[in-house]
Structure 1
Amino acid sequence: MERTKPFKVAVLGTGNSAHDHVNGFLKAGVEVVAVHGSNPERRDSFAKQYGIPIQVSDYRELLHMAEIDAVAICLPNYLHAPIAIDAMRAGKHVLTEKPMALDGASAAEMVRVQKETNKTLMVSLQVRYSPAVRLAKQFAAEFGEIYYGKCAYTRRSGIPGWGSWFTRKEQAGGGPTVDVAIHVLDQCLYLMGYPRPLYVSAHTYAKFGVRGQGKGPWGTPDPTGYCDVEDLASALITLENGGVIALETSWAYHGPDKRSVEVFGTEGGLSLDMMTSLTVYKNQFDTPVTLNPTLPEEDERANMAKHFVECCTTGKTPDTSPEHGLILNKIFDAIYKSGDANGKQVKVDL
């Protein structure tokens, strides 16, 4: 039966990502009816800015409201899994910020509860819904066996919210690996068909954040806090299909800002640069050709919001599925384990 009543969403959190989600929902024509936030002033300002009628300090109040169909979790990483599980068990669909959980075990529990409740659980990896990645996927379908991928997300000086939950291992799960590299790694895996990862060899370094250097404009700093996560990581990920992915990421280093994804196959390859430029390499009539297709103008956040509602209302599996979120969390577990062992190869526990 076709749905007739409006789809209504509650946003949990009032930080930057919450603003991004609300704007995406509004552009997609989705009604945002409630907001949760622990700071009364920020919550009230947020609600007034977007005309949101309901505001609460305890997210559990929202889970008992029958008019709310779904929640968007825009809170610190350590809250993603417990709140998502509470929400699904209360009958709500869930869109959660990345990473899906602090670690692979928590992510696996989220997948189990999703299957138990049959509610939609989707990971907010919005760049997957960008015109650049969507068009890249169409080209990649013609590349034959894609056996090599490279991805990088580096900031020269961009540690977010130094001293806050962002830079605390027990609350964030890690540094740039889980915060920004997750985007390019997800895109690389996606373009390669999301093959199962087998092994990881990685190195992680904490050279700037531990000294209070390399701070960026994101997040809210806590000068009384600390930083015990990496600010640079490099990893080689071996895949079950015989392929491999080389990953590098940083929040702070003496080098350029980069955001790139490259994949190479038997019949072609491509490069995505800063998600605004797509270059395709292939042969035509045995002659190498390079293509620079024009990217359509679309809003990735609006695309993601529309897809989320479609999945919630039809039962379709999200493109950025909980299974993909689990794979990413398990790879991160292996990266940190290998990094602690000075690059020793570690099996991905899937």
Structure 2
Amino acid sequence: MSKTIRIGIIGTGGIARAHVAGYRTMDNVDIVAVADIVSGKAEQFIQAEQLGTALAFTDHRRLLELDLDGVSICTPNFAHHETTVDALNVGKHVLVEKPMSVTLEQSIDMVRASKKNDKMLTVGFQPRYDPNMEIVRSFVQSGELGKVYYVETGGGRRRGMPGGTFIRKDLAGAGAMADIGCYSLDMALNALGYPKPLTVSAFTSNYFGANPKYHSEADKFDVEDFGVAMVRLEGDIVLNYKISWAMHMDTLGATMFLGTDAGLKVTPAGTGPWSGVWDGKVGSIKLYHDVNKHHTESPIPIIEHSINLFNAKVQDFVHAIEQGGPAPIPGEDILYNQAIIDGVLRSAELKREVDIHIPQL
């Protein structure tokens, strides 16, 4: 009989409900405690989600005093760092929602806490569990493209600006770059094997979010709703990264990997004003190559599946706890995402290229 995995949940926003649903697919998981800084919210969440005897706390540190195997961090972005480090320091494995943190320094601190305490830190990028994402990675890693020298990724919603904590820099750290752009970065960097970012030259704006014509909370909107960056990666690779919450355009284009022997074009699934970004499934994959000296385009068959990507993410975390690791989506990798976002914001503010420095961990 398998050991019962005891889980705590910190933060009771909408994303926490998805975590509960994922844990409920596993018979050997017990959600034993919930914490939320707002008085009464943890109790309400426990009742709404029918979590039975789960304990409620307003202070996450009280929750962390319990005998827990793992913790889901479902707080607003600004609290990811403190709650994650606190959990790691008392010997709990952590699944933290994306984006990893608000600042690069916080992400570095989180990875160091994971290493110091020999506890797993995994970050919530559920699109990784689409088997078509593995097809993309396999093509890039196989060498069939030759040397990959240029990657273009990102995406954009014609209209898809959130509100609340997402649009305040003090709570979210960044806007579209952190909210949906981090998915694009993970897709590209994971396919490449997570090469180290070296420099960034970027531009950002919030012409839509800060305009009451387009957003009901324009007076509170102080993050970017659009950003574009040229990122130099080790291995002499250039990454063109672009993202938008709102724009007068249908798309910012597909993700492309250009290699010396072939190229790969990948488009996201979905239609409508909130689609066009890499937080869901793959729509199409096409290989551009030469056959007998003729330009050839080969569609790569998409794997049709009914995988609940979010459930798969939560299940993988539990399996990693059971098996003693490694982290399914390690913080050491996603640290590079945060380094790029940090570089984008610095470059945009300074209006020049900036270096990216990641210390030894």
**TM-score of the pair, normalised by structure 1:** 0.89
Q: 1:138 to 1:31 in 2, by over 3 A?
A: farther
Identify the residue that residue 301 of structure 1 maps to in structure 2: 310
Q: Distance in 2 between matches of 1:28 and 1:264?
A: 41
Q: Is the 8 A contact 1:192 1:263 kept in 2?
A: no
Q: Aligned partners of 1:44, 1:213: CA distance in 2, in Å? A: 38
- Cα distance per residue 1:173-210 (max 9 Å; x no partner): 11101111000111111111211111111001121222
SS class of match (1:210) = coil
SS at structure 1 position matched to 2:162: coil
- Return 148-157 or 86-95, whichever deviates more: 148-157
2:332 maps to: 323
Change (3 A) 1:177 1:48: same
- 1:250 aligned partner, one-letter code: S
| Match among 7, 10, 13 for residue 15 of structure 1 | 13
- The reply to whether residue 51 of structure 1 matches residue 50 of structure 2 is yes
Report deviation, 1:12.
1.6
1:7 & 1:296 partners in 2: Cα distance?
32
Q: Is residue 218 of structure 2 the alignment partner of residue 234 of structure 1?
A: no
Instruction: Tell me if structure 1 keeps the 8 A contact 2:242–2:252.
Output: no
Is 1:117 the counterpart of 2:117? The answer is yes
Secondary structure of 1:151's match? Answer: strand
- Per-residue deviation, 1:213: 4.4
Count of residues in Structure 1 that have an aligned counterpart in Structure 2? 338
Quote the offset at 1:86 in angstroms.
0.4
- Structure 2 residue identity aligned to 1:146: V
C-alpha change, 1:237 and 1:28, in structure 2 (3 Å) is farther
- Cα displacement (A) at 1:121: 0.4
Match of 2:95 in 1: 95
Q: Which moved more, 1:274-283 or 1:125-134?
A: 274-283
Kindly provide the CA deviation profile for residues 244-270 of structure 1, in whole angstroms up to 9, marking residues without a partner as x: 111111122222256843222233332
Task: Tell me the CA shift for residue 167 of structure 1.
Answer: 1.4
1:26 match: 24
Q: CA RMSD in A?
A: 2.3
SS at match of 2:220: coil
Partner of 1:218: none
DSSP-derived class of the 1:194 partner? coil
Match of 2:151 in 1: 149
Residue pair 2:209, 2:225 contacting (<8 A) in 1 also: yes
**Residues 63-88 of structure 1: per-residue CA shift (max 9 Å, x gap):** 0111x211111111110011100001
Matched, 1:336 2:337: no
Q: Distance in 1 between matches of 2:224 and 2:169?
A: 9
**How far apart, CA to CA, are the structure 2 residues paired with 1:285 and 1:347?**
41
Which TM-score applies when normalising by structure 2? 0.86
Deviation at 1:276?
3.0
SS at match of 1:207: coil
In the other structure, the counterpart of 1:76 is 76
Q: Secondary structure at the match of 2:95?
A: strand
Tell me what 1:262 maps to. Answer: 256
Contact 1:158 1:214 in 2 (8 A): no
8 Å CA contact retained: 2:121, 2:330? yes
- Please name the residue that 1:62 is paired with: 63
Task: Give SS of 2:200's match.
Answer: strand
Matched-pair identity in %: 30
1:304-337 Cα distance to aligned partner (Å, 9 max, x none): 1222123223333324211122111111111011
Which position in structure 2 is the counterpart of 1:345? 353
| Paired residue secondary structure (1:339) | helix
Instruction: Map residues 151-166 of structure 1 onto 2, 5 A cutoff.
Output: 151-161=153-163, 164-166=164-166
Aligned 1:177-196 pairs, distance under 5 A: 177-196=177-196
**Unaligned stretches of 5+ in structure 1?**
216-220
Q: CA 1:326–1:213 in structure 2 vs 1: closer, same or farther (change >3 Å)?
A: farther
In the alignment, is residue 176 of structure 1 matched against residue 176 of structure 2?
yes
Distance (Å, rounded) in 1 between the aligned partners of 2:318 and 2:289 = 40
Matched, 1:206 2:206: yes
> Which letter does structure 2 place at the counterpart of 1:138?
S
| SS of residue matched to 2:15 | helix
SS of equivalent residue, structure 2 residue 287: strand
